[in-house]
Structure 1
Amino acid sequence: MKIIMISLDTLRADRLGCYGYGKPTSPHIDRIASEGVLMERAYASDIPTEVAHSAIFSGNIGLTTGLVSHGSELTHLPKSFDWLPTKLKAAGFVTGAVDNLYNLKEWFARGYRHYINSSGKKRWIDGRTVNDLAIPWIRGHKDEDFFLFLHYWDAHTPYLPPEPYTDLFYGEGRDPFGPSNPSMNRAYSHPAYPFFKHHHYNLLGPVTDAEYVNALYDAEIRYLDDLLRELDEVLEHEGIREETLLILFGDHGESLTEHDIFWDHCGLYEQTVHVPVIMRWPGRIPEARRVPGFVQHADLMPTVLEAIAEETPIGIDLTSLTLSGKLDGRSLWPAIRGDSAGTMDEVYLSECAWQAARAIRTEQYKLIRYYDAGPFRRPSAELYDLRQDPEETVNLADRLPELAAELEERINTFVGQKLKGRPDPMMVQIQQAQLPFRRRIEMILGAVGLSWESWMADPQRERYDVLEGARRK
């Protein structure tokens, strides 16, 4: 048996054809979905990258592990928590990864016999590098039972797709640098601008058309899709496609100017927390199956454990893991077989990087409660009727105060049940160390003599470019 889990970093669900997108971003991913099962409403309970992947490999959400923030120096994952690669290595699988999450936290290398760090000299990682490292590994281990984790960053900023892919989504005759287009003005005057100037905008040039940046995101997805097609062809050529459980997932999505968020993955809105999850296992998973109910990242670990427990007698007691409180996730197999709609009736969401917030997402409503808005202007609570307002544009919190209070109480009850008297890691982060991404901006501003308070008080954000230019001279 082979298992390949693929993280498609920063890939939002609604930008794929199999999730309803009209542009040709994902022909091969769509094909994989048609050959297996697609989770229509999969959610990242914790965002962004660090905490999302921690939930995936531990089977537990952040309130259980204590991991709620990204880039925090306060966090640590004790080895007492189960970890998927470690379990699989103990079960006799050869475990490998092409990934660079180890650069963030040491626990991401746990359990691997072969950890191939994909980092290079540049900040970003091209999926070409991932394939060039992964394909020889697959060929070298094709006769063994293996688990391989691959991490593709192509849909993450900076968006730098090969030029032919851009042409597919940004037509000829359009000028992304035209002086009369004001659509980038809001992005360039946003409080988070210093961070993205260095890590994104400087690499694109003086773009004036926001639609060009959105087109680059689509182009990156199409480039990624072709890399996945190449990888799939290797499985076919080596004769291991039929025995391979293939799992594709997004760790979080991306906001593409929605909600005052410019090409980034903060905010507990659907653009960021609704992620693709697609599985294919020929002969074991029905083709073209779609699971309509709520599922979450933490469900992937027990799903993999159940798959191998049924495939080979490896001694994993799945029942004791999932029913004793050790895992928050639940196996997706009942939903895959059609015995249930999903794994939960409602989803609880959390972020603590650019801003600190929690949310509850029910069939009809979403309530977002902010504890620290960071560089954003947010009310204390946002309430949306997702049936009537799927884009989350009309905040009903003041119009429906009783419903907002009820949903917030459900969040508080859920948090209390998970913490069981332990300190709230989100409040600890805010009170002891601030938001990690605020600290990043403070460091950049400090280099040019600005403070966070003065920056936030300047609506034009003009002094930063002036001072930064003077510093470079």
Structure 2
Amino acid sequence: MNTARQSRNQKLGDSSRLRAFVVKPAPKSTTKTRRRGESRRWFSIRSCLLLLLVVCGCQTSKKENPQKATTPSRAHSGPGQALSEVWRHLNVVLVTIDTLRADRLSCSGYHEKLTPNLDRLAARGVLFENAVAQAPSTPPSHASMFTGTYPTVHQVRNAGGFALDKSHETLAEILEEKGWQTAAFVGSSVLDRVYGLNRGFQVYDDRMPKSAAGEEPSRRAGPVVDRAIQWLQNQSGQKPFFLWVHVYDPHAPHDPPQPFKRKYKKSPYDGEVAYTDRELGRLFDALDKKSPPERTLTAVLGDHGESLSEHGEYYHGVFLYDSTLHIPWIMAGPGIPAGQHVLVPVLEGQPGDTTYSYAEALYPKLNMGWAELRAVRTSRWKYVRAPRPELYDLERDPGEKVNVIDQHPAEAQMLRKELERIASLGPDAPEKVQTKTISAATERRLESLGYVSAGGPKYVSLTGQGIDPKDRVHILKLMEESGSTENKRTPEQRVRLLEKARKEDPTNPVIYYLLGQVYEKSQQPDRALEIYRTALRQKVTATSKIYARMGVIYGEQGRLDEAISAFQKALEMDPTDLESHDKLALAYLLKGRIAEAERILKYLLAVDDENSQAHNNMGWIALKKKDTREARRHFERALQLDPDLLEAYLNLGLIYKEAGDYARARANLEKYLARASASGNVETIEKVKRELAEVIQLQEPKR
């Protein structure tokens, strides 16, 4: 296991300044080609931290020994020193665009003009053409950006279940300590604060709208940008700020809003990119008004790409080809050359080439029961460790279509050894990955609740052996065909496709989950339960989501004991699943197990005080204890966070009625009725109408 100090040493070299760039002219035409044999030097997304810190002139936290700190030193004289003093007071803006392919930027030569606002930013800055992600997955990729380390160091290895440990200092923590005001606005719950990237941010806006059953809560770029602009407008300018904006729209499902849906009917992914660019244009305009370009360092990156059927993959997460690893990266700010297309940044005191870059995909192992993949690349070669390993000559074959491992065994052997060195692998000792990476403090909190088994950490051995994902491309196709929003398939057609996939791959947990979702959405909960139970009988891996869905169905059927058991099992496997915490607390409340529910709710609010449902449930508990003042506080806070939380309006209305405050009672009951759907609980709506009539009668002055 790597230590925190090793983490820092792998993060930043001993360079002191951003010295120069390896530059090539911007393309003159909109069609971009790469000549056979043209060298491509690559550098990693984890370099983001180094570049931003170099430009801002920051050192690392005082928590580390300054003798050992390897961030840029300020003991540098010459012309660059004056510029560094300016840079130390810059406003810093980081925009991360989920699932954005590098080849979709117009300034990179894409035939469609999708990104005029990103092009505008690139025109006054640099476009790094050969940047690559460390994982085709959002949480590991962002953890690498913010810590400057590989996933093997920061240990955020996959989406869900992995949280960044406090021993890894983040960019936001460094800048906050140096005096920057910090704020983040994210577009998906996959970056929820429970996963640890909120550290160092004074504002971390991760509130998502309610989502359909089983879907990842997310929000469009428009609302994310709105919140970021609102925060910007409230900045006084007395301190520099660091703003992170994450937009999620290019991620599947590819379903852009109008007019982009109509304009890009044949390529909805392009429509999502074009919509995202429009919204970012609003952000850039607001930035220019609040913080002019000469005072602002702006970086825009993709976290990974999207395969779009290349190599048999339709989305991302499974393979390590450049369709999902090659990312766009733009930087603009004072002292950064304008309008340049840059191969790699060169740091003072460092060689011009980034020799090796590592990447990994653990999703096939942890989610699908296949073998994990790892890769290492140089300027020319990419080696992929798999049950059937691969080697690609990136100069001659940038599309990675021809595996040349048999023709170049020496290169493959050299890269395999380098991969083992980077990942700290022994030739005969597989890495063991801890699958519930929560902090020690969180672990103690969970154990104190008495409902999550401590049981020690859970590990998975990464042997590199098992089912090669290349041999399951047809399974990926069946799953894509069953779930594509473009195909408009009936539930029966989706079931047939997924059953065919299940027959060929009977231990793949994702197939069972997708099958269960089809049955749930077509109002067949018992069929869904049977599918989920079959998955458990097959002893598939990654069953936390399956247990969570079983808990939801049991709860809806009033089978509370079974719901409680299912949620407990889900949380043993994934303690970061806040939704299952919420639902377990509700099940306890309905069973009358108030003390157990209250312990969970207090834990949830300690993790995230902006959990509206937890506040609502705590208000209900306070009512049971006849503490109306505390109940009112929780209900009002719940409505402040979620103005559509119906129960809170009803409860507040009844509290104010009991207190004789008929005006407020009436206002809350009327808000409840205005928001209550006609398809909701008719009996409850009628009761509320009677309560409102009584309040109105009481409110009228007595004659």
TM-score scaled by length of structure 2: 0.47
1:408 aligns with one of 416, 423, 427 = 416
The CA distance in 1 between the partners of 2:353 and 2:201, in whole Å, is: 29
Partner in structure 2 of residue 431 of structure 1: 461
CA shift, 1:346, in A, is 2.4
1:352 aligns with one of 354, 362, 370 = 362
Task: Give the AA of the match of 1:290.
Answer: H
How do 1:39-438 and structure 2 match up within 5 A?
39-71=128-160, 73=161, 75-99=162-186, 100-103=189-192, 105-122=194-211, 123-143=217-237, 144-170=239-265, 212=266, 215-281=267-333, 283-293=334-344, 332=345, 334=347, 344-355=354-365, 356-370=372-386, 380-416=388-424, 423-425=431-433, 430-431=460-461
Could you say what secondary structure the match of 2:292 adopts?
coil
Comparing both structures, which one devotes a greater share of its residues to strand? 1
The CA distance in 1 between the partners of 2:383 and 2:422, in whole Å, is: 14
Could you say what secondary structure the match of 2:360 adopts?
strand
CA shift, 1:142, in A, is 5.0
1:25 aligns with one of 105, 114, 117 = 114
Any idea what the Cα deviations from partners look like across 1:308-350, whole Å, max 9, x if unmatched? Answer: xxxxxxxxxxxxxxxxxxxxxxxx5738xxx978561221111
CA shift, 1:273, in A, is 0.7
The CA distance in 2 between the partners of 1:93 and 1:466, in whole Å, is: 45
Q: 1:267–1:423: structure 2 CA closer, same or farther, 3 Å change rule?
A: closer
Q: Is the 8 A contact 1:97 1:148 kept in 2?
A: yes
CA shift, 1:229, in A, is 1.0
Task: Give the AA of the match of 1:431.
Answer: S
CA shift, 1:149, in A, is 0.7
The CA distance in 2 between the partners of 1:416 and 1:112, in whole Å, is: 32
The CA distance in 2 between the partners of 1:40 and 1:409, in whole Å, is: 27
The CA distance in 2 between the partners of 1:2 and 1:23, in whole Å, is: 32
Task: Give the AA of the match of 1:147.
Answer: F
Partner in structure 2 of residue 16 of structure 1: 105
CA shift, 1:417, in A, is 7.8
Any idea what the Cα deviations from partners look like across 1:240-285, whole Å, max 9, x if unmatched? Answer: 333111110011111000111113343110111111111111x321
Structure 2 gap segments, 5+ residues each: 1-89, 212-216, 366-371, 436-457, 473-478, 484-494, 528-703
CA shift, 1:470, in A, is 8.9
Q: Is the 8 A contact 1:68 1:426 kept in 2?
A: no
Q: Is the 8 A contact 1:255 1:262 kept in 2?
A: yes
The CA distance in 1 between the partners of 2:383 and 2:359, in whole Å, is: 10
The CA distance in 1 between the partners of 2:259 and 2:517, in whole Å, is: 36
The CA distance in 1 between the partners of 2:351 and 2:393, in whole Å, is: 21
Partner in structure 1 of residue 91 of structure 2: 2
CA shift, 1:7, in A, is 0.7
Structure 1 gap segments, 5+ residues each: 171-211, 294-331, 371-378
- Higher relative contact order, structure no. (Cα contacts within 8 Å, ≥ 6 residues apart): 1
Q: 1:77–1:19: structure 2 CA closer, same or farther, 3 Å change rule?
A: same
Could you say what secondary structure the match of 2:185 adopts?
strand
The CA distance in 1 between the partners of 2:389 and 2:126, in whole Å, is: 35
Q: 1:164–1:418: structure 2 CA closer, same or farther, 3 Å change rule?
A: farther
Task: Give the AA of the match of 1:275.
Answer: I
Q: Is the 8 A contact 2:139 2:191 kept in 1?
A: no
Q: Is the 8 A contact 1:118 1:129 kept in 2?
A: no
CA shift, 1:81, in A, is 1.7
Task: Give the AA of the match of 2:251.
Answer: H
RMSD of aligned residue pairs (Cα, Å): 3.7
TM-score scaled by length of structure 1: 0.69
Task: Give the AA of the match of 1:349.
Answer: A
The CA distance in 2 between the partners of 1:422 and 1:465, in whole Å, is: 34
Task: Give the AA of the match of 1:33.
Answer: A
The CA distance in 2 between the partners of 1:40 and 1:467, in whole Å, is: 41
- Tell me if 1:471 matches 2:524: yes
Q: Is the 8 A contact 1:13 1:275 kept in 2?
A: yes
Q: Is the 8 A contact 2:375 2:385 kept in 1?
A: yes
How many residues are matched? 367
Q: Is the 8 A contact 2:431 2:461 kept in 1?
A: no
- When Rg is computed on C-alpha atoms for both structures, the one with the higher figure is 2
The CA distance in 1 between the partners of 2:128 and 2:426, in whole Å, is: 25
The CA distance in 1 between the partners of 2:392 and 2:346, in whole Å, is: 31
CA shift, 1:134, in A, is 0.7
Any idea what the Cα deviations from partners look like across 1:334-384, whole Å, max 9, x if unmatched? Answer: 38xxx97856122111121135211111222211112xxxxxxxx521111
The CA distance in 2 between the partners of 1:92 and 1:385, in whole Å, is: 46
Partner in structure 2 of residue 177 of structure 1: none
CA shift, 1:126, in A, is 0.4
The CA distance in 2 between the partners of 1:412 and 1:128, in whole Å, is: 43
Q: Is the 8 A contact 1:50 1:70 kept in 2?
A: yes
Could you say what secondary structure the match of 2:158 adopts?
coil
Could you say what secondary structure the match of 1:388 adopts?
coil
Q: Is the 8 A contact 1:77 1:107 kept in 2?
A: yes
The CA distance in 1 between the partners of 2:183 and 2:502, in whole Å, is: 46
Q: Is the 8 A contact 1:96 1:112 kept in 2?
A: yes
Task: Give the AA of the match of 2:303.
Answer: D
Q: 1:467–1:6: structure 2 CA closer, same or farther, 3 Å change rule?
A: closer
The CA distance in 2 between the partners of 1:27 and 1:409, in whole Å, is: 43
